[in-house]
A and B are shown apart, each in its own frame.
Chain A
Amino acid sequence: MVEMSIIYAACVAGAIGLLFLLPRRDRRWAPIGAVLGGGALGAGLLALSRGQVAGGVDVFFYILAFLAVAGAVRMITHSRPVYSALYFILVVLATAGLFVQLAAEFMAFTLIIVYAGAILITYLFVIMLAQEAPDDQHPDALTEYDATAREPIAATVVGFVLLAALLGMMYRGTSQMPAHAVTHVPADSELEMLLGKVDAALREAELIRHGERVESVDAADRTATLISTSPESPRLVSLPADLHVDNVDAVGVSLLSEFPVSLEVAGVILMLAMLGAVVLARKETAGDAAASDPKSQAPTPKPLGASS
């Protein structure tokens, strides 16, 4: 169980590092925090790999993982909201890169388009809209609630306790799992459902004659059964070697064949969200006091930790 102690030690070091990095009045200790955090992350990785650093992942994983974690830390520790959003975009990009590593390129692009391109842009709009300075003389100054973190020690401690618990469970659980869930994935098994694709590929390869259409595909043999009105049907044709199911195809097939209802429900949810957003954020109602008197309703934010 030496690895577990390393993991816990790494958690503690990481916690201290993060504490130093969180927004506070005195920013001198931030570099130390960065060093500590980085070291903790590395140690944790080493421990979890049981010393075999290079096993199973290549160098891009480390780069992207580092970018993701660094971006995430910087996102939560930066005092200005716009920068937080931008760092989050960096995290999203890193995550997308990781998805590409895992051969999930469709999800990677979806993530970038939807998250970084839509959701975060919306966030940026709202940040611009809702931003304010504490007083009019210094329009660039930070507001008080941005400048200081709220109960950083309690939050960090609890967070890293949670992390330690999670990692402990994870370590224990994954040590009981087999090294490989499946030894061999039957390749291109979805081709049996992608008749149109096979058809297009065969046409391109000029393996299909006019009047013929694909009736079924046998992925294991990599043959397609063509039928036509001609007397030679059915005819077996071997699929071209470069015909593969890529990720988009796989996801599409799975989505539509196994989760059709969820797809419909997702569409409904999106529509409701749109309606809800419009309802919530429509023009000012009588209950909005800030419209008439901009700062009249804002009570002074109470100091941290004071009795409420």
Chain B
Amino acid sequence: MTEPLSILALNHYLLLSAVLFVIGFIGFLTRRNLIIMFLCTELMFQAAAIAMIAFGAYHGNVQGQVFLIFILTIAAAEAALALALVVMLHRRRATLDADCWSELRG
């Protein structure tokens, strides 16, 4: 096993994680296509994954990776359900525009 991360290296990875997270978040807020919005949430997951692994390496154990396995599991489940929802919504209105769905207003 390689030696554990120094705090300096950890900073690098955390910066990358934060940047990816925010990019994903901005994408989520800006795009109107439902599928792209979900893709951006997946990007946020990626960012969290990097952070997990980096911290695990910093502490010198594999708990970060184990946690990531579970995150991956949940991400997969969520992706499946999300895409099923998208397909259903698309059948209703024949459009993927997120702005069309505003029945919950008020």
Contacts and interface: CB of A to CB of B under 8 A. Distances in A.
Contacts of A155: 26, 29-30
A185 B4 contact: yes
B4 to A, nearest CB: 6
A211 interface: no
A181 B66 contact: no
A145 B20 contact: no
Interface in B1-40: 1-16, 18-27, 29-33, 35-36, 38-40
A129 B91 CA distance: 10
B58 A262 contact: no
Interface string A251-275: 1001100110010001001101110
Contact of B70 (A68, A103, A266, A290): A266
Given A107-B65, A308-B105, A122 B80 contact: yes
B83 to A, nearest CB: 5
Interface residues of B, number: 86
Given A76-B24, A177-B7, A269-B73, A150 B99 contact: yes
A72 B2 CA distance: 29
B15 A72 contact: no
A299 interface: yes
A137 interface: no
Contact of A41 (B3, B19, B94, B99): B19
Contacts of A69: 16, 19-20, 23
Contacts of B59: 181-182
B91 A284 contact: yes
B20 to A, nearest CB: 5
A55 interface: yes
Interface in A43-101: 44-45, 48-50, 52, 55-57, 61, 65, 68-69, 72-73, 75-76, 81, 84-85, 88, 91-92, 95, 98-99
B20 A72 contact: yes
Interface residues of chain B: helix, strand, loop or mixed (majority): helix
Interface residues of chain A: helix, strand, loop or mixed (majority): helix
A288 to B, nearest CB: 5
A115 B30 contact: no
A262 B66 CA distance: 10
Interface string A281-293: 1001001111100
Interface in B52-106: 53-54, 56-66, 68-70, 72-81, 83-88, 90-100, 102, 105
A69 B53 CA distance: 17
Interface stretch (A27-35, A159-167, A193-201, A234-242): A159-167
Between B3, B8, B64, B65, the greatest number of chain A beta carbons within 10 A of the residue's beta carbon is seen for B65
Report the 9 A-B pairs with minimum CB-CB distance, sorted nearest first.
A76-B27, A56-B9, A273-B77, A155-B29, A280-B84, A145-B32, A159-B26, A281-B84, A145-B97
Interface of B: 1-16, 18-27, 29-33, 35-36, 38-40, 42-43, 46, 49-50, 53-54, 56-66, 68-70, 72-81, 83-88, 90-100, 102, 105
Given A179-B8, A301-B32, 8 more contacts: A73-B23, A99-B53, A103-B57, A123-B39, A254-B66, A273-B80, A295-B94, A298-B93
30 contacts: A49-B12, A76-B26, A91-B43, A98-B53, A102-B53, A102-B54, A107-B49, A111-B49, A123-B79, A126-B35, A131-B96, A170-B15, A177-B7, A181-B4, A181-B60, A247-B65, A251-B65, A254-B61, A254-B66, A255-B66, A266-B69, A269-B73, A276-B84, A278-B84, A280-B84, A281-B84, A287-B92, A288-B91, A288-B92, A308-B105
